[in-house]
Amino acid sequence: MAKSILSEEQFQNEEAAFEYVEARLWPQGPVCPSCGATDEHVGALKGKTTRLGLRKCYACNAQFTVRIGTIFEGSHLPLHLWLQVIHLMCASKKGISTRQIQRMLSCSMKTAWFLTHRIREAMQDGGLEPLGGAGKVLEADSTYIGGKEKNKHVGKRDAANIGGMGKAVVHAIVERNGRVRAHHIPKVSRENLRPILNTHADRASALMTDAAGEYRLLGREFASHETVNHQADEYVRGEVHSNTVEGYFSVLKRGLTGTYHSVSEAHLHRYLAEFSFRYSNREKLGVNDVARTDLALEGFKGKRLTYRTTSGERGAALS
Ligand SMILES: [Zn+2]
């Protein structure tokens, strides 16, 4: 599936890769990252020894390429290889392992690890507007990642008590037929859920959750709040269910265990960004693999990550 598309020019040829990225990051033409100059104030530097894509700003004398000010800055990896990795991460529903990237690029594990984490970090949903709204349905729920198999199906209350046993709690809000926001939280409590709902859930929405007590008071602030009682084996009552958010969790879990095996808690938020990006831009919402890759690229603007940002957390390596 991915093979045929990877034969396209931008994945194979460095010049084509620059053109592809420039067209998406500079739809109006080059922009000087130092002073913001455009149009006739920016010229292309050409010559046999000139770096590919090099521009010169006549307003401030800066020289730059489209890589500056993005996650590509400070990386020696050719842009066409970056594009391959980004495409594979955007197109693989359950993610793609660091080992697979390492083999594909014949690079070190360390390089593969930095690349994928930079991309994940940049996939973070920058939108500040809350999900939902009048006439829309939000489903909220939390789940436990990692920990022992025998603990996977325990009820929420019990699980909260064993939260210290290596299980990470992920909370997600999904707008039906829309986007998702997922967060790694220390434990399910009203104190932890309130700020998330405040920021990410429009109070004019209809809220659907399970019967977890933490939602009881918070739910009153919404246009409506209905619950299904999972502990009493109730999962669907007409329109009242949390199957959508469960669906998100199931892809997340299959990806985290199947592709990434185990993820340290320090990095969980980056994997959530990756899975949420794909979910929020999924096929069902009319976004295909190519469009999703382009959306990722557009999101990389202003997302320069320094070497220090990623290397500082290297101690907590993926296992
Ligand atoms: Zn300039």
Ligand 1 center–CA 225 separation, angstroms: 53
Cβ atoms of 267 and 118 within 8 Å: the answer is no
Ligand 1 center–CA 44 separation, angstroms: 13
Domain boundary among 122, 155, 186: 122
Ranges of the chain whose pLDDT falls below 70 = 1-4, 147-166, 262, 302-319
Query: Is residue 47 a part of any domain in this protein?
Result: no
User: 87 and 148 share a domain?
Assistant: no
Ligand 1 center–CA 26 separation, angstroms: 15
How confident is the model at residue 148, as a pLDDT? 52
User: 178 and 81 share a domain?
Assistant: no
Distance CA 209, CA 230 (A): 10
Query: Is residue 300 a part of any domain in this protein?
Result: no
Query: Is residue 36 a part of any domain in this protein?
Result: no
Ligand 1 center–CA 124 separation, angstroms: 28
Ligand 1 center–CA 308 separation, angstroms: 26
User: 175 and 118 share a domain?
Assistant: no
Ligand 1 center–CA 56 separation, angstroms: 8
Q: Assign residue 231 the CATH number of its domain.
A: 3.30.420.10
Query: Is residue 37 a part of any domain in this protein?
Result: no
User: 86 and 150 share a domain?
Assistant: no
Ligand 1 center–CA 63 separation, angstroms: 8
Ligand 1 center–CA 293 separation, angstroms: 29
Ligand 1 center–CA 62 separation, angstroms: 5
How confident is the model at residue 56, as a pLDDT? 95
How confident is the model at residue 315, as a pLDDT? 30
User: 154 and 257 share a domain?
Assistant: yes
User: 244 and 272 share a domain?
Assistant: yes
User: 117 and 152 share a domain?
Assistant: no
Q: Which of 285, 256, 291, 98 is nearest to 182 (CA)?
A: 256
User: 146 and 171 share a domain?
Assistant: yes
Ligand 1 center–CA 180 separation, angstroms: 38
Q: Which of 232, 176, 186 is nearest to 208 (CA)?
A: 176
User: 199 and 265 share a domain?
Assistant: yes
Ligand 1 center–CA 33 separation, angstroms: 7
Number of domains in the chain: 2
Query: Is residue 130 a part of any domain in this protein?
Result: no
How confident is the model at residue 303, as a pLDDT? 66
User: 142 and 283 share a domain?
Assistant: yes
How confident is the model at residue 40, as a pLDDT? 93
How confident is the model at residue 318, as a pLDDT? 27
Ligand 1 center–CA 60 separation, angstroms: 4
User: 152 and 279 share a domain?
Assistant: yes
| pTM assigned to the model | 0.84
Ligand 1 center–CA 43 separation, angstroms: 11
Ligand 1 center–CA 11 separation, angstroms: 30
Domain of residue 225, residue span: 137-287
Ligand 1 center–CA 36 separation, angstroms: 6
Ligand 1 center–CA 32 separation, angstroms: 5
Ligand 1 center–CA 17 separation, angstroms: 24
How confident is the model at residue 3, as a pLDDT? 52
Query: Is residue 180 a part of any domain in this protein?
Result: yes
Query: Is residue 112 a part of any domain in this protein?
Result: yes
Query: Is residue 70 a part of any domain in this protein?
Result: yes
Q: pLDDT tens digits for 117-140?
A: 999 988 987 777 999 999 999 999
Ligand 1 center–CA 46 separation, angstroms: 18
